[in-house]
Structure 1
Amino acid sequence: MIMMKKKYLITFIVICILAIGTAAISAYWYLQNFAQRTIELNEPEQLFVLKRGTSIANLVKQVEQESLMTDAYLIPYLMKIHPELQGIKSGTYQLSATMTVEQFLQLLVSGKEVQFAIKFVEGKQAKEWLATLKNMPDIELTLTDKSLGEVAKQLSIEGAIEGWLYPDTYHYTPGTTDVAILNRAYQKMKIALQTIWDERDEGLPYQTPYQLLIMASIIEKETGVDDERSKVSSVFVNRLKYKMKLQTDPTVIYGMGEQYKGRLTRKDLQDKENPYNTYVIYGLPPTPIAMPSLASLQAAAHPATTNYLYFVADGQGGHTFTTNYADHDKAVKAYWRLMSSQNN
Structure 2
Amino acid sequence: MIALVAVLVLLGGLGAWTVKNDGYLFGLRTPLAAADYEGEGGEPVVVEVPEGANGSTIAAELVEKDVVASAEAFVRAFGANPRAAAIQPGAHELRLHMSAESAVALLAENKVVRGGLTVVEGYTVEQIRQTMIDAGWPEADIDAALADPAALGLPEQAGGHLEGWLAASTYDAKPETVSAADVLQQMVALTLQELEELDVPADRQNDVIIKASLVEREAPDEYRGEVARVIENRLAADEALGLDAIDSYGRKKPSHQITSDEFNDKSFPYASRVVKGLPPTAIGAPSRASIEAVLSPSEGPWRWYVTVNLDTQETKFTDSYDEFLQFRQEYQAWAAENGY
TM range (shorter): 0.5 to 0.7
Residue number in structure 1 paired with 2:141 = 143
In structure 1, what is the Cα distance between the partners aligned to 2:166 and 2:144?
17
CA 1:165 to 1:287, structure 2 compared with 1: closer, same or farther past 3 Å? same
| 2:268 aligned residue | 274
Residue type at the aligned position of 1:152: P
> 1:170 aligns to what?
171
Match of 1:333 in 2: 329
Q: Which residue of 1 aligns with 2:197?
A: 195
Larger radius of gyration: 1
| 1:184 partner letter | Q
One-letter amino acid of the counterpart of residue 171, structure 1: D
What per-residue deviation string (whole Å, max 9, x for no partner) do you get for residues 20-52 of structure 1? xxxxxxxxxxxxxxxxxxxxxxxxxxxxxxxxx
* Aligned-pair CA distance for 1:186: 0.6
| Distance (Å, rounded) in 1 between the aligned partners of 2:284 and 2:302 | 24
Sequence identity, in percent? 26
Q: Distance in 2 between matches of 1:261 and 1:302?
A: 29
Deviates more, 1:292-301 or 1:260-269: 260-269
- 1:191 CA drift (Å): 1.5
State the AA in 1 paired with 2:197: T
Q: Distance in 2 between matches of 1:160 and 1:318?
A: 34
Higher relative contact order (CA 8 A, sep 6+): 2
More divergent stretch after superposition (184-193 vs 153-162): 153-162
1:295 aligns with 2:297: no
Q: How does 1:258-273 map to 2 (within 5 A)?
A: 262-273=256-267
Map 1:84-163 → 2, pairs under 5 A: 116-137=115-136, 139=137, 143-146=141-144, 148=146, 150-157=147-154, 158=156, 159-163=160-164
Distance between the aligned counterparts of 2:181 and 2:339, measured in 1? 47
Could you tell me which residue of structure 2 aligns to residue 255 of structure 1? 250
CA pair 254-140 structure 1, distance change in 2 beyond 3 A:
closer
Structure-2 separation of matches of 1:279 and 1:340: 25
Structure 2 counterparts to residues 32-47 of structure 1, below 5 A: none
Write the letter of the residue equivalent to 2:207. Q
Q: In 1, are the aligned partners of 2:212 and 2:293 still within 8 Å (CA)? A: yes
Normalising by structure 1, report the TM-score: 0.59
Q: 2:333 & 2:245 partners in 1: Cα distance?
A: 23
Q: Quote the offset at 1:309 in angstroms.
A: 0.8
Q: Distance in 2 between matches of 1:261 and 1:239?
A: 21
Residue 232 of structure 1: SS of its match in structure 2? helix
Name the CA shift for 1:278/1:197 in 2 (closer, same or farther; >3 Å): farther
Change (3 A) 1:341 1:261: closer
Match of 1:213 among 202, 209, 216: 209
Q: For residue 261 of structure 1, report the CA deviation from its aligned partner.
A: 7.6
SS at match of 1:277: coil
Deviations 1:134-168 (A, max 9, x none): 1114x4665244485x1424414241110001100
Q: CA RMSD in A?
A: 2.4
Relative distance call for 1:332 and 1:262 in structure 2 (3 A) is closer
Unaligned runs of 5+ in 1: 1-113, 200-205
Mark the CA change 1:271 to 1:260 in structure 2 (over 3 Å): closer, same or farther: farther
- Provide the rounded CA distance (Å) in 2 between the counterparts of 1:143 and 1:280: 39
Give the Cα separation in 1 of the matches to 2:281 and 2:114.
Answer: 34
Deviation for aligned residue 1:267: 1.5
**Number of paired residues?**
221
Q: Which runs of 5+ in 2 are unaligned?
A: 1-112
User: Which is helix-richer, 1 or 2?
Assistant: 1
